[in-house]
Amino acid sequence: MHDNIIETKNLTKTFTDGDKQTTVLKGVDMSIKRGEFVAIIGRSGAGKSTLLYQISLLDTPTFGEIFINGIDIHNLTEEERIDFRLNNLGYVFQDYALLPDLTAVENVALPLLMQGYTRDEAYKRAAEVLDQVGLEGKYENIPAKLSGGQQQRVSIARGLAHKPSILFADEPTANLDIESSLLVLKIFKEIHSRGQTIVMVTHEAEYANTADRVIEMKDGIIS
């Protein structure tokens, strides 16, 4: 087992818009240890979210290398990347990104069903994780019937239910009030205390201090 769960080498991302090219990541070398809680901070446009998208396999870098669990993810096909995300990674998005047609428990159970769990097993596990994030009794609510904070907790539960190696969180508190934000951070601390690797992007230094380590991005490089 590799000590570094994430490792990047010369990670570069350039966006092209017509003739105009903008390099957002400029050769980032970075490593994150297994079980670490890392916060990536920086000002708007610093490249923190872009970095998260590359290392979480939601986007592909222009060049450079990414190793997750020692696996070079560069050579994975699109379907292999989807499968890799399903079995190794969890996500918490800024806008929760829940599926509006599914109830809370269905949203959480869906990745488990995809992994091959039976319906009963998946729903049981989903209920357990929803309980862990304080959503007992909200299983059958669709997202529209939940508050922002509750939706974000469903999102966290979905990100954790299939026991991923790494949980990625992109500005998880950006749309929440202080009370809900603190609750989300409390949940992150709890799950991290049980050994979960967490990579969180935030623009709020105060919340970043919850993490073990803070990586600050500035103009596409780690400062």
Residues that bind another protein (CB under 8 A): 53, 58-59, 78-79, 82-83, 85-87, 89, 91, 93, 97-102, 106, 110-111, 113-116, 142, 158
Q: Kindly tell me which of 23 and 87 has the beta carbon lying closer to another protein.
A: 87
Which two structure tokens, joined as six digits, stand for 29? Answer: 């070398």
Integer angstrom CA distances of residue 156 from 38, 90, 128, 168:
16, 8, 13, 10
Nearest approach in angstroms of CB 126 to another protein is 13
Which two structure tokens, joined as six digits, stand for 222? Answer: 């780690």
> How many residues can be counted in the chain?
223
Nearest approach in angstroms of CB 101 to another protein is 4
Q: Kindly tell me which of 4 and 115 has the beta carbon lying closer to another protein.
A: 115
Integer angstrom CA distances of residue 166 from 89, 131, 176:
5, 21, 23
Nearest approach in angstroms of CB 212 to another protein is 26
Which two structure tokens, joined as six digits, stand for 179? Answer: 């009370």
Other Cβ atoms closer than 10 A to 113: 15
Q: Kindly tell me which of 47 and 210 has the beta carbon lying closer to another protein.
A: 47
Nearest approach in angstroms of CB 16 to another protein is 13
What torsion, rounded to 10 degrees, do the Cα atoms 56, 219, 74, 79 define? 40
Q: Kindly tell me which of 91 and 207 has the beta carbon lying closer to another protein.
A: 91
d(CA 7, CA 33): 9
Q: Kindly tell me which of 82 and 205 has the beta carbon lying closer to another protein.
A: 82
Nearest approach in angstroms of CB 87 to another protein is 7
| Closest by CA position to 105, among listed 143, 147, 54, 148 | 143
